[in-house]
Amino acid sequence: MVTTAATAEIPGHPSLARPPFYRFSTWFMRGIFRGFSRVHIHGRGRVPTTGPLIVVPNHAQWVDPVMLGAFFPRPLIFMAKQELWRRWLVGWIVERFGAFPVRRGAADREAIRTALAVLRSGGALGIFPEGTRSRTGILREPHPGVGLLALKSGAPLLPVGIVGTVPMEGTRWLGKSPEVHITFGEPFHLTLGVGEGKGRVAAATDEIMRHVAAVLPPEWRGRYGDVR
């Protein structure tokens, strides 16, 4: 488990370099997804190749972080639910795939410190604003943590739309070759700038979700359907 701010130097958190296990695991998962699904990547050129970045995708199914990490054009470090670390082997694997634990529904100061350290080191941080899977694809209500991190760090954000993973429950999809589209939107900075306060965090979180909704089909946008 990660307990230090020197995130860029910790194996399994490749914000500035790719350790062997990370390189192998992303290569291996790309092969799995290419072999058993049809993955289309849109807007890859919009992804900043260097510098701090908060990556904010929608979350419909369990494969989303694995697939996004495998096809993201630079090392991507995820905030992942702490429950994954209850089984030591699963925790060991996801940590070396580029993840650190966060307690959902709580003010996890250690996770926030680690996330900010990743960004200070110039890394790309992946966080699912919804906090859990929607299973239908329709955007759920977000958690305020993503808005808080964006305000504290001032880092640019990259919205990502993942469409087509809803049927990929368990392993039954392996013989069905589902079609998945991963769309990278335009990077943006919060119009609120840097600062804190409950109202600012809520406004920042809503602004982020509107950008995420903009790279999703209209029927998936939920209450963020008006993205003009």
Tens-place pLDDT, residues 152-168: 999 999 999 999 988 78
pTM for the complete prediction? 0.87
The answer to whether residues 1 and 12 touch, using CB atoms and an 8 Å cutoff, is no
- How many CA atoms within 13 Å lie on the side-chain side of 41? 14
As a CATH number, domain 12-217 is: 3.40.1130.10
- pLDDT at position 193 is 62
The answer to whether residues 39 and 177 touch, using CB atoms and an 8 Å cutoff, is no
- pLDDT at position 194 is 60
Side chain identity at residue 59, one-letter code = H
Strand, helix or coil at 191?
coil
pLDDT, one tens digit per residue, over 118-156 is: 998 889 999 999 988 887 889 999 988 899 999 999 999
Domains of the chain by residue range: 12-217
The answer to whether residues 38 and 180 touch, using CB atoms and an 8 Å cutoff, is yes
